[in-house]
């Protein structure tokens, strides 16, 4: 999709001013002044954004922001259960919309948003930022070059160790769109779609492991692809010693990579995405690439991740507004991810493999 709306400067507003704004959105948007101008934030009681962005206006509600002329583009990064209602309201107000993951809580909600955006000729995209990570692009290059031969199986993991409730109490409430499936697994599902496309079937195990938990905090999905390739996606909040985040095995070798997560850590520490080496991984975190030699022996080499940052999402979005590129994440991709999530819950309920 290439939007007809073209401008030199896209007035951009963000629906909150919390962690996701300060780490995942505002720094990248601000680093692209040729495309974007941060014009407004929603802060219900404070004006914390004024310290970093003194020229931006502060609104006390999303509804007030949507009714204003201060934004062409709205970033919906409010709590997950509110994504659908706020995105719908922004589209109704004639605004282009970026929705933080998850796209919506259900396939039905996502389809409504896609239809609205199409009817109004508005840009709608989803901030699946972890497509712009060096370790995933390294794996994409490995797959694209066929270095592992015919693929057999793989594992994508996103594991943490958190024995206490989330300090953001709303994230622990059993609401549609909450839980680890929507919080972390949605990243892994999107990465699987990015690399391998839509699977043929899914089998899942989803549980609540922490004694106090009211939300799902363990997810395991097996995605079945043609030619007997299968991918295990797994996420948990009770893994004290996290394993490799990416493992891919083929007839000709294996790829093993532990998560670096350098961008989030450096932004949280106050480093600008414009800083030299901002997204460079430490040499010690490079992936292991094991290749089978003609004589059957194995040679292991280090395969470093290329430098790439989440700026790429907003760079491509700016180019899309200028008519130079497609939008960074098609809504159909995020919709496919929700179809997998719904099928996973159906699999848990029926204890069966769900075919698409």
pLDDT tens digits along 90-119? 999 999 999 999 999 999 999 999 999 999
Specify the 3-state DSSP secondary structure of 206.
strand
Q: How far is CA 135 from CA 19, 259, 303, in A?
A: 23, 8, 10
pLDDT at 8: 60
Question: Is 1's pLDDT higher than 70?
Answer: no
pLDDT tens digit sequence for 5-57 = 455 689 999 999 999 999 899 999 999 999 999 999 999 998 999 999 999 99
pLDDT tens digit sequence for 148-165 = 999 999 999 999 999 999
CA distance 260 to 243: 12
CA distance 248 to 227: 15
Instruction: Name the CA radius of gyration of the chain, rounded.
Output: 21
Triad 256, 314, 283: Cα angle to 5°: 30
pLDDT tens digit sequence for 124-137 = 999 999 999 999 99
Q: pLDDT band at 298, cuts 50/70/90?
A: very high
Q: Label the pairing between strands 287-292 and 298-303.
A: antiparallel
CA distance 18 to 118: 30
For the chain, domains (ranges, CATH) are 10-128+312-325 (3.40.50.720), 131-309+339-355 (3.30.360.10)
pLDDT at 2: 41
Q: How many residues does the chain have?
A: 356
pLDDT at 98: 98
pLDDT at 97: 98
Least confident of 4-8, 171-175, 274-278: 4-8
Task: Give the CA count within 13 Å in the CB-facing half-sphere of 216.
Answer: 24
Contact 72, 12 (CB under 8 A): yes
pLDDT tens digit sequence for 193-247 = 999 999 999 999 999 999 999 999 999 999 999 999 999 999 999 999 999 999 9
Specify the 3-state DSSP secondary structure of 62.
helix
CA distance 51 to 77: 20
Specify the 3-state DSSP secondary structure of 114.
helix
pLDDT: is 221 or 2 the higher one? 221
> What contacts 40, CB < 8 A, 6 or more positions away?
13, 14, 56, 57, 58, 59, 65, 68, 70, 71
Task: Give the CA count within 13 Å in the CB-facing half-sphere of 127.
Answer: 25
Question: Structure pTM?
Answer: 0.94
CA distance 153 to 141: 17
Tokens linked to 154: 């793989």
Tokens linked to 24: 């995942």
Tokens linked to 288: 């292991």
Query: Quick one: which of 96, 60, 47 has its CA closest to 76?
Result: 96
Query: Quick one: which of 17, 129, 24 has its CA closest to 78?
Result: 17
Question: Is 3's pLDDT higher than 50?
Answer: no
Query: Quick one: which of 79, 26, 34, 82 has its CA closest to 55?
Result: 26
């Amino acid at each position: 999709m290439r939007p007809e709306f073209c401008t030199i400067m896209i007035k951009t507003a963000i629906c909150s001013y919390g962690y996701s704004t300060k780490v995942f959105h505002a720094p990248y948007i601000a680093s692209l002044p040729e495309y974007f101008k941060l014009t407004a934030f929603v802060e219900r009681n404070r004006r914390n954004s004024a310290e970093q962005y003194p020229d931006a206006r502060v609104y006390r509600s999303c509804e007030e922001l949507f009714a204003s002329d201060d934004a062409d583009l709205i970033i919906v990064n409010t709590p997950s259960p509110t994504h659908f209602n706020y995105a719908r309201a922004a589209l109704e107000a004639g605004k282009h919309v970026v929705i933080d993951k998850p796209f919506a809580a259900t396939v039905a909600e996502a389809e409504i948003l896609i239809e609205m955006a199409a009817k109004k000729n508005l840009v709608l995209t989803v901030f699946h930022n972890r497509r712009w990570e060096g370790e995933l692009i390294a794996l994409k290059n490995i797959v694209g070059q066929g270095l592992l031969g015919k693929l057999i199986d793989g594992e994508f993991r996103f594991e943490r160790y958190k024995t206490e409730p989330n300090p953001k109490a709303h994230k622990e409430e059993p609401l549609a769109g909450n839980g680890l499936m929507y919080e972390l697994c949605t990243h892994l599902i999107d990465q699987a779609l990015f690399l391998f496309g839509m699977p043929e079937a899914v089998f899942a195990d989803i549980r609540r492991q922490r004694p106090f938990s009211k939300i799902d905090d363990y997810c395991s999905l097996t995605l079945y692809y043609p030619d007997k390739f299968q991918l295990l996606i797994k996420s948990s909040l009770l893994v004290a010693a996290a394993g490799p985040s990416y493992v891919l095995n083929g007839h000709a070798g294996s790829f093993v990579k532990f998560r670096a997560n350098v961008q989030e850590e450096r932004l949280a520490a106050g480093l600008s995405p414009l800083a030299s080496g901002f997204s460079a991984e430490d040499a010690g975190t490079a992936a292991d690439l094991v290749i089978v030699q003609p004589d059957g022996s194995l040679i292991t080499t280090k395969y470093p991740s290329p430098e790439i940052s989440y700026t790429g999402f907003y760079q491509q979005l700016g180019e899309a507004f200028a008519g130079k590129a497609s939008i960074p994440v098609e809504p159909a991709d995020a919709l496919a991810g929700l179809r997998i999530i719904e099928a996973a819950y159906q699999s848990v309920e029926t204890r069966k493999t769900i075919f698409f």
